[in-house]
Amino acid sequence: MRLKDKSIEEREVIDRIIHQAQICHLACSLNDQPYLVPLSFGYDGKTIFVHTARVGKKIEIWINNPQVCLEFEIGIDLVSGPDKACDWTFHFQSVIAFGLIREITDPADKKHGLNHIMKHYSGKEWEMPDLEISRTKIWGVDILSVTGKRSPIEK
Residue 92 near residue 154, CB atoms below 8 Å = no
Provide, for the chain, the percentages of residues in helix, strand and coil under a 3-state DSSP scheme, each rounded to the nearest 5: 30, 45, 25
Amino acid at site 33: Q
132: containing domain: 4-151
The whole-number pLDDT of residue 4 equals: 65
Domain count, the chain: 1
- The structure's pTM equals 0.88
CATH code, 124: 2.30.110.10
Does residue 76 surpass a pLDDT of 70? yes
pLDDT, one tens digit per residue, over 24-37 is 999 999 999 999 99
**pLDDT at residue 155, as a whole number:** 45
